[in-house]
Amino acid sequence: MTAAVVVFAKAPIPGRVKTRMIPPFTPEQAAGLYTAMLADVLDSTAEFAARRGLEAVLAIDPPEMCGEMARRAPPGYRVVVQRGPGLAARMAWAVAELAAAGLDGVLLRGSDSPALDPQTLDASLDALADFDLCLCPDLDGGYSLVGLRRPVPGLFDHPMSTQRVLEDTLANAARLGLRPKLLPARFDLDTAADLAHLARARREGSAEGCGRTLAFLDEGSLWPTE
The total of structural domains in the chain comes to: 1
Cα dihedral 126, 128, 131, 137 sign: positive
Q: Supply the CATH number for residue 210's domain.
A: 3.90.550.10
Q: Considering the domain boundaries, does residue 226 fall inside one? A: no
pTM for the whole structure: 0.96
Q: Considering the domain boundaries, does residue 224 fall inside one? A: no
Q: Considering the domain boundaries, does residue 72 fall inside one? A: yes
Residue 226: pLDDT band by 50, 70, 90 thresholds? low
Nearest-angstrom CA–CA distance, 70 and 173:
34
Could you list the residue range(s) of the whole structural domain that residue 155 is in?
4-219
Q: Considering the domain boundaries, does residue 225 fall inside one? A: no
pLDDT above 60 for 9: yes
pLDDT digit string, tens, across residues 11-56: 999 999 999 999 999 999 999 999 999 999 999 999 999 999 999 9
